[in-house]
Amino acid sequence: MVRVGIITLLSVIVLLSGCYRAIVETGLPASDQVISKPFASCWIYGLIPPSVVETASKCPNGVARVETQHSFVNYLVGMLTFGIYTPMSIEVTCAEKPAIGFKSGQEDIIVSESNSPGDVREAIVLAAEKSMQSHQAVLVQLP
């Protein structure tokens, strides 16, 4: 009987030691700049999410990748607090500045300052149509 209890306990430990991980990639090229929050505070089993990671000032070209993860240590802290405090780690990779002549596979659409709002709307619709036909990104440059 002791053997069955030990095997059950070891099985539970192995099953609970897995790490939850979610990755979101935007398709933009990644830069070397990474914003990391190893203990972003979640509360009550994640019902109250962590605060927003401010990336606007640190990633002027946007975000290339966001990775959230519950590590073993995060789970351990959550278990010790009975789920009241459940931290997670968040890692944001900033995007590189797109090179001139953005590699879209299609001609870029450039809108000048003298164009009307209707012309801008038409340029965006044209870019969407080109993108749907080629299955590649089409860059619209606005003033």
* Confidence category of residue 143, pLDDT binned at 50, 70, 90: low
Beta bridge partners of 35: 92
Q: Where are the domains of the chain?
A: 18-95, 109-141
Q: Decide if pLDDT at 5 tops 90.
A: no
Q: Which pTM does this prediction carry?
A: 0.56
Rounding to the nearest 10 degrees, give the CA dihedral for residues 111, 113, 117, 119.
-40
Q: By CB neighbour count within 10 A (0-12 exposed, 13-18 middle, 19+ buried), where does 91 fall? A: middle
Would you state the pLDDT for residue 70? 84
Q: What pLDDT digit, counting tens, does each position of 32-64 carry?
A: 899 998 888 888 877 888 888 888 888 888 888
